[in-house]
Amino acid sequence: MDTERNPNTTAEEEALIEHEFQDLLNGYINSNHRKKVEIIERAYHFAKKAHGGIRRRSGEPYILHPIAVAKIASREIGLGSTSICAALLHDVVEDTDYTVEDISRHFGPKIAELVSGLTKISGGIFGDKASLQAENFRKLLLTMSEDIRVVLIKMADRLHNMRTLGSMAPNKQYKIAGETLYIYAPLAYRLGLFNIKTELEDLSFKYEHPQAYQEIADQLRASEERRQAVYSDFSAPILERLNGMNLKYEAKARVKSVYSIWRKMETKKIPFKEVYDLYAVRIIFDCPDPSAEKTVAWNIYAAITDLYKLHPERTRDWINTPKGNGYQALHLTVMGPDGNWIEVQIRSRRMDEIAEKGFAAHWKYKVGEGEEETELHAWLATIKDILDDPTPDAVDFLDTVKLNLFAAEIVVFTPKGELITLPQKATVIDVAFTLHSELGSHCIAGKVNHKLVPLSYRLNSGDQVEILTSKSQTPKPEWEQFMASAKARTRLRRALRAEVAPDIEKGKEILARFLERAQVEATNEVITKMMAFYKIPTRDDLYMRLGTGSLSLEGYILKDSPTTSPSLLKKIFRIGTSKKATAETTPAPPKPKINPKEVYKLHITGEGQNFVFAPCCRPVPGDDVMGFINDDGDLEVHSLSCPRAQVLKAGYGPRIVATQWESVQKSMPATIVVEGVDRHGVLHELTGIISNQLNIDIRALNISTHAEVFECRLDVLVHNTGDIAALCAKLKKIDGVQSAVRH
């Protein structure tokens, strides 16, 4: 928590605090929860006294933060008095002298349990060290499985922190935004909190790519009038038809979020003006009888398809088969009056509230143990299954869980007609391991719709899948390459570890003896660098190869000269720590210190550069970039859109540095992909413009044609993103060229 102590609050601030609390209280009183106002007022006064004199980094009294979190939990997630009290008290135990026992004594065990759960996962999901990341994330997920409200309140806490992120230092903005985009937004989606997921994505994008965010937001505003006109033309006949059906309903256009528009532009390499599906039409109808919702939805569907041409492959029935996060709706896509496809979402009022507020709304509507509750329990059971996997690799653990958080879904059936929900791109082996680890371990093939298929066969929604097994079959590491389910991957890894467990234990002993003889301490850094030297992805793989004898370390110790052993290891594995430093050791010159709290200026001159480019991406001056202090103490520069950068921001916050291009006197490599209609002389024009008009050096050129269409990949040297923009703009003016984009 970034705070400072200032005991004096002005009369104006006191009035603001009281106004915000009354606003929270009024919203709660107007909700359909039982009115437990007295305990909420007590929690407010308790928290206000506990946080007295403490201010946030922005300068405002700290108590405004828990009030804001409680307001989000109440109004935007739909939680009741217990959660509101826990939200008001969520930082008291961590930041003041009060204990969980004090909370229990004043407010009862249930509120105390929620506050305790929130305290365990406070300060963000991740710790400063990689080895702690997975453990802290496990705490979050374990707490979720005990009481989902802990995570819902944590989501409210993160949303308010993102809304007030502007007062934080730039490096912390990168860390928090990256962590939010990597974990919290997918988690919000998986919990059905669609509005919160969208806002978290947009806010993260705003801080990571401020210029791109502003440009898209401006273009959305500029196109609003035209969009409204198209919507009016499209919706008028639909509204007339619905009015004739005597329905009570609400119709509106839902505009795509800035982040989702940017993602589409980036994925498809298209400009804003070519993103045609900027909005979807949502129809929300009132239906007091839940059993009649399906009939009303399909009647509306029929009315719309009588008016407009239906896209045959883009109808989604999530009423009969809800998404894993409980989402229910009927989606169809029809041709609009302007010649573009428009998506229409049909929901009942109940479905809409569940879509916006997630599982909290399920509790409002449930009668006994309903279908929605079953969906939640099924997902939490999957999370518990992943938690049982004792993998030591933090980033690998996060990626495994993320598979389960943010996956589009398909539904398949067993031969007995049981329904299984799986991520898109799931295969036969996913089904086998999802059903049972033993079934997966002995799986040899599958039958999909009664046709024999291999384990790697990719499934479609509605497939019926039968698993074929053999007692002689054993699990194979290569199966993981065509798995899409986190649960299946976890179970496969566990099965593989059971097979090689004796070799792993033997390898651990071999490595321990080797390092002891070499007088090198077995730290995480040492083992990580050995893995990097041999290009081995996990520790277990390193141990297994040592245990089976496929890897030997003996040649790296000079048995006759023990005093040189540490330095030899240091040279080969780039290891910097040993138990005994010799008198002859010459210390390396100290590297310049990097202050993560300050913006680091990037420069390349004739004398060298003060950073290194990340091997995973190729940023050029003008790109949105960030710095990461690597194990060697160098500043490694990543593009903010680099997938590796997402992992680093989520997992290594204290080593993230805000950066700024300053002076770069060197050309950088970039790849441009040009596509168009093939004709005689087009290549000559391309190279002429690049070399002669723009004076840009070409390092490689690869052109191929198929069915009168060409694709040309150009590796060029540029000074900045301005060079790339000018080059693409020039190339697009060549007759026949359809697109020119940076790869």
List residues with catalytic annotation: 94-95
Token pair in block for residue 165: 């992120």
Angular region, 296: left φ>0, alpha ψ -120 to 50, beta rest: alpha
d(CA 504, CA 172): 39
How many beta carbons lie within 10 A of that of residue 576, not counting itself? 14
Task: Classify 610 as helix, strand or coil.
Answer: coil
Amino acid at 411: V
Residues 6+ apart with CB under 8 A from 601: 610, 659, 660, 662
Which stretch of DSSP H or E encloses residue 18?
helix 11-29
Q: DSSP label at 692?
A: I
Query: Which among 441, 499, 498, 490 has a CA at the least distance from the CA of 470?
Result: 441
CA 217 to chain centre: 22
Question: Residue 728 in contact with residue 670, Cβ under 8 Å?
Answer: no
Question: Residue 655 in contact with residue 126, Cβ under 8 Å?
Answer: no
d(CA 377, CA 386): 14
d(CA 39, CA 599): 46
Question: Residue 658 in contact with residue 599, Cβ under 8 Å?
Answer: yes
Tell me how many degrees the CA angle 622-625-627 measures, rounded to the nearest 5.
135
Q: DSSP label at 418?
A: -
d(CA 437, CA 452): 21
Beta bridge pairs of residue 558:
none
What's the Rg (C-alpha) of the chain? 29
Size of the chain in residues: 743
Question: Residue 537 in contact with residue 526, Cβ under 8 Å?
Answer: no
d(CA 46, CA 51): 9
Residues 6+ apart with CB under 8 A from 431: 412, 420, 422, 446, 459, 465, 467
Residue 41 sits at φ, ψ, to 5 deg, of -65, -40
d(CA 186, CA 217): 23
Q: How far is CA 244 from CA 131, 238, 247, 250, 303, in A?
A: 63, 10, 8, 14, 10
